[in-house]
């Protein structure tokens, strides 16, 4: 799939830390309850750590007690893409650069407007504090 931001593997490795590369480009998950943003309540916009695209806001973040930051909707539906691959749950990627963000779960009974849980790795995100508009 073609993305707005295309870089070689070497370019991504040069720009990202080894752990960021493992998650964002290698589609690995960080260990549960270890991420920077798991329990963060600060207001702002969560952007893709690889390309800077705005993905989620603090307004859609909720405490799912799953060990990773959880959001019930992206900032804009076009900011993320959801792909069904060989994994049991749909994979969530940045629509701008294709970096791996996490997985999407639906129908778990959370009292949110969508009953969706975008379970996202902290290493895939960077919080820009402030207004989440």
124, part of any domain: yes
- Report residue 9 as tokens: 């593997």
Residues 51, 94, 97, 119: which is the catalytic one?
119
Q: Which of 105, 102, 101 is nearest to 117 (CA)?
A: 105
104, part of any domain: yes
- Tell me, what's the pLDDT at 3? 94
101, part of any domain: yes
51, part of any domain: yes
- Report residue 2 as tokens: 């073609």
Total domain count, the chain:
1
Contact 132, 86 (CB under 8 A): no
2, part of any domain: no
Strand-pair partners of 103 = 91, 119
Range of the domain at 99: 9-129
The secondary structure of residue 74, as a DSSP letter, is: -
Cα(111)–Cα(102) distance, integer angstroms: 21
92, part of any domain: yes
Domain at 56, CATH number: 2.170.150.20
Q: Quick check: is 66 catalytic?
A: no
- Tell me, what's the pLDDT at 83? 92
Percent of the chain surpassing pLDDT 90: 89
Cα(103)–Cα(80) distance, integer angstroms: 11
Q: How far is CA 45 from CA 22, 63, 64, in A?
A: 23, 17, 19
- What sign has the CA pseudo-torsion 127, 100, 123, 88? positive
pLDDT tens for each residue of 36-90:
999 999 999 999 999 999 999 999 999 999 999 999 999 998 999 999 877 788 9
Question: What residues contact residue 84 under an 8 Å CB cut-off, 6+ apart?
Answer: 90, 91
The pTM of the full predicted model, rounded to 2 decimals, is 0.93
pLDDT band at residue 132 under the 50/70/90 scheme = low
1, part of any domain: no
100, part of any domain: yes
């Amino acid at each position: 799939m073609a993305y707005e931001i295309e870089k070689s593997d070497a370019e991504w490795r040069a720009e990202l830390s080894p752990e960021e590369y493992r998650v964002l480009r290698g589609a690995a998950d960080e260990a549960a309850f270890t991420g920077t943003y798991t329990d963060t309540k600060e207001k702002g916009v969560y952007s893709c750590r690889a390309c800077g695209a705005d993905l989620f806001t603090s307004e859609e973040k909720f405490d799912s007690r799953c060990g990773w930051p959880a959001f019930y909707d992206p900032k804009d539906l076009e900011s993320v893409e959801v792909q069904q691959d060989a994994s049991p749950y749909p994979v969530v990627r940045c629509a701008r650069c294709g970096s791996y963000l996490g997985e999407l779960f639906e129908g778990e009974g959370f009292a949110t407007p969508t009953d969706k849980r975008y379970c996202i790795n902290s290493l895939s995100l960077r919080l820009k504090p402030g207004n989440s508009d």
